[in-house]
């Protein structure tokens, strides 16, 4: 491998030039939005090597985190070049202008120069437009990477709620009409919405008390955004408390301690508004006294949650194409109304909800009601495993039952049923008899 400095590649002899390396990184970010930097390589391209320890990598990561604003999340790794140990830093960012030590630089050929006041002004004015274009930019993924069943399910649901009608059944043409592909490649939006070819995940945990000391349960979910949404919602539904109410006809009704409409809205927001350039996953933490939903996406500058709760502020979309797709399925009711809807749903159900702006992202906290109230006395039922038990029972009773019939029977979405079926199959609790179309499920007796 022969390295040469360019507008997107910087070479440094050693980490003794770390301060200058930070300036090179942000200069490349301001010009191209991403690039590479190597330690252990002369400017001429001659590989000299670099002593590398875990402490070395941590020091670089810390200096980049402290020295560059807005923050970036580079990949820092030890590599072997021509038989010698070096360090490679791969970085990207969409929030220019970037600053180091209070100054913004830009890459010109293989050198850095300070941005002029007029250039800074232009960068700031263009930043919103630049960020809004991110999810429509092309990736290297071919169209064939699309999970067609997921995409077709999206089209079916969008048609059912009367928000999207496409005249053709050709999935490629439909992707093209939705501006999700170009020249045989997927956009970033298509990649995250309809493939699993990415590292975005949701980490879910239940804790014994009000802190993160003792875990009672932990799960990590990966996959397309629709699967992540269903998996996260099902996890919360299974782990929170429910009470049973009876109407005047003695019909039984199960009521969650936190309104599910608010939970789902918070989950959708956490996916739509997250920063996809940040490798950190979304998080769900269920404590004894609260439920937290976190996403690594900072709030729009100069705005507060109250601005949106009041309904006076317009939507500020980090990922407008992803938001549009969720709007078509009615997972988003009206752009910019998410926090307002969460607030109203909680208010009408006597649940306290808080919105917190963090340096690393955004946090929604639902306070859980105390279980000493009579409503949550003997009639409190945990739904842990309840969905799974119902599915297994339904299949035993009627082996020919379809996915749609299961969804109607249990009051879940089709995607939620499909996700549970896939999990049960993976766990060896059910197996498929016959072809995907025309076959049926069978419970595996052990």
Span 260-276, mean pLDDT?
A: 93
Task: Give residue 380's pLDDT.
Answer: 36
- For 260, other C-beta atoms within 10 Å of its C-beta total 14
Task: Report how far residue 188's alpha carbon sits from residue 194's, in angstroms, rounded to the nearest whole number.
Answer: 10
In terms of pLDDT, which residue wins out, 146 or 102?
Answer: 146
More confident residue, 354 or 116: 354
pLDDT in tens, 106-120: 888 778 888 888 777
3-state secondary structure of 389: helix
Q: Indicate whether 226 and 354 sit together in one domain.
A: yes
Look at 411 and 57; give whichever has higher pLDDT.
Answer: 57
Q: Are 42 and 110 in contact (CB under 8 A)?
A: no
Q: Which residues, in sequence order, are CB contacts of 402 under 8 Å at separation 6+?
A: none
Range of lowest pLDDT (85-89, 286-290, 305-309, 380-384): 380-384
Residue 4 in any domain: the answer is: no
State the pLDDT at residue 418: 80
Q: Is the pLDDT of residue 353 over 70?
A: yes
Assess if residue 426 is contained within a domain.
Answer: yes
User: Is the domain of 159 the same as that of 56?
Assistant: no
Same domain for 207 and 183: no
Question: Is 131's pLDDT higher than 60?
Answer: no
Q: By 3-state DSSP, what share of the chain in percent is helix, strand and coil, each rounded to 5? A: 40, 25, 35
Alpha-carbon distance 118 to 108, whole Å?
Answer: 17
Q: Are residue 285 and residue 376 in the same domain, yes or no?
A: yes
pLDDT over 90 (residue 81): yes
| Domain harbouring 90, CATH code | 3.30.950.30
Q: Tell me: the pLDDT tens digits for 275-332? A: 888 888 999 999 999 999 999 987 766 578 887 787 666 666 778 899 999 999 988 8
> Looking at 127, 153, 174, which one is the last position of a domain?
127
Q: Which of 382, 409, 429 is the last residue of a domain?
A: 382
pLDDT at 66 exceeding the cut of 80: yes
266 and 367 fall within a common domain: yes
Mean pLDDT in residue range 239-265:
83
Tokens standing for residue 187 = 């956009």
Q: What is the mean pLDDT of residues 390-409?
A: 85
CA distances from 261 to 241, 242, 264, 344, 378 (A): 16, 15, 5, 10, 25
Residue percentage of the chain with pLDDT more than 70: 89
Distance CA(399)–CA(407), nearest Å, equals 15
Cα separation, 130 vs 123, in Å, equals 9
Confidence band of 342 (pLDDT split at 50, 70, 90): very high
Is residue 84 in some structural domain?
Answer: yes
Q: Domain total for the chain? A: 4
Longest dimension (CA), the chain: 84
Query: 314 lies in a domain?
Result: yes
* pTM of the complete model beyond 0.85: no
pLDDT score at 84: 95
Q: Do residues 327 and 396 both lie within one domain?
A: no
Q: Are residues 178 and 311 in the same domain?
A: no
Sorting pLDDT into bands at 50, 70 and 90, what band is 378?
very low
Whether residue 264 is found in the same domain as residue 374: yes
Mean pLDDT score, 410-418? 75
Peptide bond before 16: cis, by omega within 30 degrees of 0? no
278 is a domain residue: yes
Instruction: Read off the CATH number of the domain in which 397 is found.
Output: 1.10.10.10
Indicate whether 285 and 238 sit together in one domain: yes
Which of 211 and 413 is assigned the larger pLDDT?
A: 211
Is the same domain home to 60 and 154? no
Residue-level pLDDT at 372: 45
Task: Label residue 13 by pLDDT band (50, 70, 90).
Answer: very high
Average pLDDT, the chain: 85
Does the pLDDT value for residue 399 go beyond 90?
no
> What CATH number did the domain enclosing 355 receive?
3.30.565.60
Dump the DSSP string for 275-338.
-TTS-PPEEEEE-SSEEEEEES-PPPTT--HHHHHTT-SPP--SSHHHHHHHHHTTSSSSTT-H
pLDDT average, residue stretch 421-427: 84
In a domain, 1, yes or no: no
Token reading at 106: 């830009």
Q: How confident is the model at residue 373 (pLDDT cuts 50, 70, 90)?
A: very low
Same domain, 333 and 369: yes
Whether 212 and 336 map to the same domain: the answer is: yes
Out of 77, 102, 127, a domain closes at 127
Bond into 357 cis (ω within 30):
no
What would the two tokens of residue 292 be?
């937290």
Which residues span the domain enclosing 438?
A: 386-443
Report the C-alpha gap between 374 and 341 in whole angstroms. 28
């Amino acid at each position: 491998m022969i390295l040469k400095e360019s507008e997107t590649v910087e070479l440094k002899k050693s980490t003794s030039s770390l301060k200058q390396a930070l300036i090179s990184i942000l200069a490349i970010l301001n010009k191209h939005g991403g690039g590479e930097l190597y330690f252990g390589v002369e400017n001429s391209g001659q590989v000299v090597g670099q002593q590398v320890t875990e402490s070395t990598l941590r020091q670089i990561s810390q200096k980049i985190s402290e020295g560059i604003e807005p923050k970036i999340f580079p990949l820092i790794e030890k590599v072997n070049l021509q038989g010698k140990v070096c360090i490679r830093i791969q970085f990207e960012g969409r929030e220019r202008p970037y600053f180091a030590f209070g100054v913004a630089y830009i890459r010109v050929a293989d050198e850095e120069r300070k941005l002029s006041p007029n250039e800074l002004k232009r960068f700031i004015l263009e930043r919103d437009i630049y960020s809004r274009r991110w999810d429509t930019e092309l990736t290297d993924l071919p169209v064939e990477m699309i999970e067609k069943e997921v995409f077709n399910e999206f089209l079916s649901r969008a048609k059912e709620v009367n928000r999207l009608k496409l005249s053709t059944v050709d999935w490629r043409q439909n992707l093209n009409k939705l501006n999700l592909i170009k020249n045989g490649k997927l956009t970033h939006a298509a990649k995250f919405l309809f493939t699993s070819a990415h590292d975005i995940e949701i980490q879910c945990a239940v804790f014994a008390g009000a802190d993160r000391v003792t875990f009672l349960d932990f799960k990590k979910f990966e996959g397309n955004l629709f699967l992540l949404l269903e998996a996260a919602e099902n996890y919360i539904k299974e782990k929170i408390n429910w009470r049973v109410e009876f109407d005047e006809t003695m019909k039984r009704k199960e009521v969650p301690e936190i309104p599910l409409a608010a939970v789902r809205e918070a989950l959708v927001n956490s996916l739509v508004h997250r920063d996809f350039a940040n490798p950190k996953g979304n998080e769900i933490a269920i404590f004894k006294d609260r439920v937290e939903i976190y996403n690594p996406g900072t709030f729009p500058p100069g705005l507060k949650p109250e601005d949106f709760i009041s309904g006076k502020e317009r939507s500020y979309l980090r990922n407008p194409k992803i938001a549009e797709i969720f709007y078509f399925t009615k997972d988003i009711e009206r752009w910019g109304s998410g926090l307002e809807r969460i607030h109203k749903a909680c208010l009408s159900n006597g649940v306290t909800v808080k919105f917190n702006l963090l340096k690393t992202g955004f946090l929604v906290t639902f306070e859980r009601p105390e279980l000493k109230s009579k409503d949550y006395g003997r009639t409190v039922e945990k739904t842990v495993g309840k969905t799974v038990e119902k599915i297994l029972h339904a299949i035993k009773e009627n082996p020919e039952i379809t996915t749609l019939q299961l969804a109607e029977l249990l009051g879940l979405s089709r995607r939620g049923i499909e996700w549970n079926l896939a999990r049960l199959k993976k766990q060896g609790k059910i197996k498929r008899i016959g072809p995907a179309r025309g076959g049926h499920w069978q419970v595996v007796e052990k």
